[in-house]
């Protein structure tokens, strides 16, 4: 019996986009969530897909939907709050797990805490398999492969161009607000190092103009050291991810990053910040502007540098808007994993799970292509 694909969170904005992308590929995923009536409506609209009821806070209900070797795709966030039961269910059943998170604290937890447990059960965990952070990891891995043994540092960058109106769903903004005070990380001096978001600042040239960006944790800090350790780049000592979505706010965030740990430690300040961000998020619409997304182009950069900081290789990729990228990547990955499995168990990254050449081909299907 071939593995089935279970999509958890199909009633949300991102989950619905993923369900649509899967059906375009000819897949028939089991749509899973709490609300039977909403699931039935989506399932009927997409051609009578099967459904299953499960709650993100109830591990047993998720486990009941999957067996060993099945593919479980989760779009239920914020993942730092709602992701634990789902990923534990995948581990317990030995499933292949993907998610759409962009939350660095959750990514780190998957690699450091859940990965060893998944190795023991034969599960494979691929977190952040969408716009965050597959394209930047791919661009950086391509640059690292081109530069080779002389590489001492790798930087990736994420940028948007164009658009208009509300650019993100309420779920995305809620996830971002929930982790802004959490410790981020970089890979520096050959090891993972905790630091606040915005600790580092630099510019990238996007469409001929310098654009600012601040450091943030991603999957690059786990994927690229693994790739380097194959003998490709024995001198690699630094991996940094940069987010360029914030434009002129980037510099103030960088300058104020040293205050973030203090705010996080103070209960009153942290509670006030959470209340303020909650009020802002609650005022936005559930879905982003369709017109704005249609006018948005994504850009991703990977740079390999030598010990003096000189650029050895640079890769630039372009793609549509973020939700299209996430939907198409998750649909491709689920299809590929159900048909062929993935390379390894435990916490994997996109490069180690599929190989660089296969990942490049899959990314091209998601319209992620070299500039």
* Tens digits of residue pLDDT in 292-330: 999 999 999 999 999 999 999 999 999 999 999 999 999
pLDDT surpasses 80 at 1: no
Domain ranges of the chain: 5-131+324-370, 134-321
Instruction: Tell me the pLDDT band of 208, cut-offs 50, 70 and 90.
Output: very high
| 23-73 pLDDT, tens digit each | 999 999 999 999 899 999 999 999 999 999 999 899 999 999 999 999 999
pLDDT surpasses 90 at 354: yes
Distance CA 166, CA 108 (A): 29
Q: State both tokens at 130.
A: 């969408």
How far is Cα of residue 200 from the mean position of the Cα atoms in its chain? 20
pLDDT at position 178: 79
Q: What is the CATH number of domain 134-321?
A: 3.30.360.10
pLDDT at position 176: 80
Q: State both tokens at 27.
A: 């897949």
Q: Do domains 5-131+324-370 and 134-321 have the same CATH topology?
A: no
Element (H, E) at 240: strand 238-243
Distance CA 79, CA 100 (A): 9
- Region 112-125: mean pLDDT is 98
Please name the residues in contact with 112: beta carbons below 8 A apart, sequence gap of 6 or more. none
Asked if residue 133 lies in contact with residue 220, where contact means CB atoms within 8 angstroms, the answer is yes
DSSP 176-212: HHHHTTS-EEEEETTEEEEE-TTSSEEEEEETTEEEE
DSSP-derived 3-state class of residue 206:
strand
DSSP-derived 3-state class of residue 8:
strand
- What topology does CATH give the domain 5-131+324-370? Rossmann fold (3.40.50)
Q: When comparing pLDDT for 300 and 274, which is higher? A: 300
Distance CA 239, CA 184 (A): 13
- C-alpha dihedral sign at 125, 83, 74, 351: negative
Distances (CA, A) of 359 to 214, 243, 332, 365, 367: 26, 22, 10, 10, 12
pLDDT surpasses 90 at 281: no
Overall pTM surpassing 0.75 (yes/no): yes
């Amino acid at each position: 019996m071939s593995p089935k694909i279970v999509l958890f969170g199909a009633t949300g904005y991102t989950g619905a986009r993923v369900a649509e992308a899967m059906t375009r590929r000819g897949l028939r995923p089991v749509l899973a969530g709490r609300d039977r009536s909403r699931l039935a409506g989506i399932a009927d609209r997409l051609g009578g897909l099967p459904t299953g009821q499960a709650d993100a806070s109830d591990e047993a209900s998720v486990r009941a939907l999957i067996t060993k070797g099945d593919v479980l795709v989760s779009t239920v966030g914020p993942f730092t709050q709602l992701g634990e039961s789902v990923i534990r269910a995948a581990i317990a059943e030995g499933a292949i797990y993907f998610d759409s998170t962009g939350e660095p604290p959750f990514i780190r937890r998957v690699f450091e805490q859940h990965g060893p447990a998944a190795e023991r059960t034969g599960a494979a965990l691929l977190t952040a398999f969408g716009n965050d952070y597959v394209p930047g990891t791919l661009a950086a891995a391509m640059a690292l492969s081109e530069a080779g043994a002389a590489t001492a540092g790798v930087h990736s960058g994420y940028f948007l161009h164009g658009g208009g109106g509300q650019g993100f769903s309420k779920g995305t903004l809620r996830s971002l607000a929930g982790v802004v005070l959490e410790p981020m990380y970089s890979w520096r001096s050959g090891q993972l190092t905790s630091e606040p978001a915005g600790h580092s600042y630099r510019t990238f040239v996007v469409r001929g103009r310098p654009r600012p960006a601040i450091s943030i944790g991603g999957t690059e800090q786990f994927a690229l050291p693994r790739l380097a350790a194959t003998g490709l780049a024995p001198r690699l000592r630094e991996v940094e991810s940069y987010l360029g979505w914030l434009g002129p706010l980037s510099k103030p965030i960088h300058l104020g990053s040293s205050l973030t740990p203090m705010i996080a430690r103070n209960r009153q300040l942290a509670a006030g910040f959470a209340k303020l961000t909650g009020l802002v998020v609650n005022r936005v619409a559930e879905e982003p502007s369709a017109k704005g997304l249609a006018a948005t182009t994504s850009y991703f950069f990977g740079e390999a540098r030598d010990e003096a900081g000189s650029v050895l290789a640079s890769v630039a990729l372009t793609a549509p808007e973020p939700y299209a990228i996430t939907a198409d990547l998750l649909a491709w990955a689920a299809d590929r994993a159900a048909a062929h499995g993935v390379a390894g168990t435990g916490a994997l990254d996109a490069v180690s799970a599929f190989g660089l050449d296969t990942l490049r081909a899959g990314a091209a299907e998601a319209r992620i292509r070299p500039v």
